[in-house]
Amino acid sequence: MSFDISLAKRRCDRLIAAHVTAGDGVTVLFGPSGIGKTSVLDMVAGLLAPDEGHVRVHGVTLFDSTTRTSVPPERRRAGYVFQDARLFPHRRVEANLRYGERLAAPAERWIDFDAVVTLLDIGQLLRRWPATLSGGEARRVAIGRALLAAPRFLLLDEPLSFLDAARRDEIARTIEDIRDRLRLPILMVTHDAAEAERLATRIVRMG
């Protein structure tokens, strides 16, 4: 079992709750904007403290309110790709990727730099600055940086949002490659039904 998640958090008089039991593949949290899907990703990543519940990935407990267990974010080995990519603007693409690589202990690395560059087809971008990248290119670089940090699972927040049709298809194919070739468990957020149907191994509806 890849994901065993049961979380509750009250924010601004609104209860955010999610219950996910899922194996490998892409698990999509689907629902309208503002329902708390990104907050669930933040809780799984350790960036937001739940009020109660648990997070287990591959049988490893990352959070459990009953035992007061809470693994620090940097030790959860979650590859988090944010909606706005969050590349370092003062570092070229290669340096952004190498930053992710440095976050992983050598013994934990399961994919190398050249393999990521080839998988994501970003070799031609390595000398570019983030400000010169298209939205789709920036997303691919952000995914590459996350992979090089040797994650045990990926968290994707609206990875196809604000892209034109061609770039949306490009990133969707990238996610399919990671799902099918790397077989890395993915927890993804979207409010788009077509995205969910295309990419999801299973859909968890919120709201």
Domain spans of the chain, in order of start = 3-205
Question: Taking every pair of C-alpha atoms in the chain, what is the biggest distance, in angstroms?
Answer: 49
Residue 205, φ and ψ in degrees, nearest 5: -90, 130
Give the residues across from 28 on adjacent strands.
Answer: 188, 203
Question: Pairing relation of β-strands 26-30 and 52-57?
Answer: unpaired
What is the C-alpha to C-alpha distance for residues 14 and 9, in angstroms, rounded to an integer?
8
Tell which CATH classification among 3.40.720.10, 3.10.50.40, 3.40.50.300, 3.30.750.200 matches the domain 3-205.
Answer: 3.40.50.300
Q: Is residue 180 a contact partner of residue 198, using CB atoms and an 8 Å limit? A: no
What is the C-alpha to C-alpha distance for residues 3 and 1, in angstroms, rounded to an integer?
6
What is the C-alpha to C-alpha distance for residues 154 and 191, in angstroms, rounded to an integer?
18
pLDDT tens for each residue of the chain, 207 residues long: 699 999 999 988 889 999 999 988 999 999 998 899 999 999 999 999 999 999 999 999 999 999 999 999 999 999 999 999 899 999 999 999 999 999 998 999 999 999 999 999 999 999 999 999 999 999 999 999 999 999 999 999 999 998 999 999 999 999 999 999 998 999 999 999 999 999 999 999 997
